[in-house]
Each structure stands twice: as structure tokens, then as C-alpha cells.
Chains A and B, each alone.
Chain A
Amino acid sequence: GAGVSQTPSNKVTEKGKYVELRCDPISGHTALYWYRQSLGQGPEFLIYFQGTGAADDSGLPNDRFFAVRPEGSVSTLKIQRTERGDSAVYLCASSPTGNEQFFGPGTRLTVL
């Protein structure tokens, strides 16, 4: 079956611009997670949704980062006033139960 998909696969933007990254989870998975992976490091947690609500947003680095999941399926990660330090691969994962997480291919964000 279809796995987690993320669009775009690559995004290049200029410092100060606004970007949106999209995640389509596996159908029926109620839990959805966003992680960020910087070069040479492991993924770091950003935010976790259970259904439509953000159950844990403790990993968001600051108020420039925001995520939504209005209908409990697709999620969008929004970054305002991007900075060069935001450059990373943004990973989305979904889970049916909160146990095993299935990861998407990621969106590589480059802020010039």
C-alpha cells in the first residue's frame, strides 16, 4: 500500500520567506509526527498530532514554526521568516497506534 508521502521533495527559498511543507500520512493512521534532521545528525522531534489536535508541540524551536492537521489526515508544517539555520530535511511519520512510526521520504529545505 501507499506509504507516507511528503511534498515538495526539495524546497529552496530565500531568507525571510514563508514556506509550507506537506505530509500525507498512511490512510487510517491517527498519529502524525514531524521531525527535523540536520546534516550529520539524527532526526529531532518537532510536533505530534493525535487526530486533529497537536498533542505535543514541545519540539518546535520557536514561534516561527507552526503545524496544522485540520481534518485529521494531511498535515502542513509552516515556517515563517525562514532563516539559514532552518535548512534541514523535514521528516513526517505516521502511526496507527503510536507505537511503530512509518517515515516519509522527507522534504529537503534549503534557505539561502
Chain B
Amino acid sequence: AQSVSQHNHHVILSEAASLELGCNYSYGGTVNLFWYVQYPGQHLQLLLKYFSGDPLVKGIKGFEAEFIKSKFSFNLRKPSVQWSDTAEYFCAVRSNNAGNMLTFGGGTRLMVKP
């Protein structure tokens, strides 16, 4: 069965610091990769997605992620975080051999201090 690991459960940063959240998955087939964000009191929203092509994906609000197939990774980055980025971030994978459902990581709770 496929699985998704997010290494950092809680991250605390000051504004303007750089962010990198790790995501690794265990599946060898063709995958689609996603990062979702959940702001306090709100529902899950898509930040960015990778289906094919350029492995460096740009998303909303200045976020980007890089798909490294050899490392089974899809890390999320942002050069300079803002207080408004305080949220929980979820990495998710959909594999072509495991149906249409998403398999989510456990999430990373990010707190940005003003």
C-alpha cells in the first residue's frame, strides 16, 4: 500500500524566514502529487500539484515544490514566510494503480511568529 510521510509535525518560524517542508512517498508507479493547506477554521485548499513535465512546480501565494523522482520526494518551499502562512500543510499522493483516492501525509503544523 502506498504511504506518505511528512517529517516535521510542527514548525515554528519567524516572518521572512525560509520554509521547507519535507514529503516522501512510498510507491514506485506513476504518481500525481499535491500540497493542500488548511488555514485556521477553513477547509482544505489546493496549494499546488504535479502531474507531469517540469518537476519544479509553482503554486499560489509564492509556494513551490520540487518533485525528485529518485528520492520519492515532493518538498514544499517558500523563500520568505508571512504570518498569514500560519496553517496546517498536507502532502498527498494519487497513484495510477491505486484508484482515484488521495493518500495524505500526517500534516505539518506551521506557526509563523510576527
Query: A residues within 8 Å of B by Cβ?
Result: 3-4, 31, 33, 35, 40-45, 48, 50, 55-56, 58-59, 91, 95, 98-106
Contact = CB atoms under 8 A, between A and B. Distances in A.
Contacts of B103: 45
Given A3-B43, A100-B46, A101-B46, 8 more contacts: A40-B106, A40-B107, A42-B92, A43-B104, A45-B103, A50-B100, A103-B36, A103-B44
A44 B104 contact: yes
Interface of B: 4, 6, 32, 34, 36, 42-46, 49, 51, 90, 92, 99-107
B101 A45 contact: yes
A55 B49 CA distance: 24
A91 B43 CA distance: 9
Contacts of B49: 99-100
26 contacts: A33-B101, A33-B102, A35-B102, A40-B107, A41-B107, A42-B6, A42-B90, A42-B105, A43-B44, A43-B102, A45-B103, A48-B101, A55-B100, A56-B100, A91-B43, A95-B100, A99-B49, A100-B34, A101-B46, A101-B102, A102-B46, A103-B36, A103-B44, A103-B45, A105-B43, A106-B43
Contact of A45 (B51, B102, B106): B102
Given A91-B44, A103-B43, A98 B106 contact: no
B76 to A, nearest CB: 14
Contacts of A101: 46, 102
Contacts of A99: 32, 49, 51
A48 B99 contact: yes
A31 B99 CA distance: 12
A59 B106 contact: no
Contacts of B42: 105
- Top-9 shortest CB links A-B: A42-B104, A45-B101, A103-B44, A105-B43, A56-B99, A98-B100, A43-B104, A42-B106, A42-B107
Nearest to A103: B44
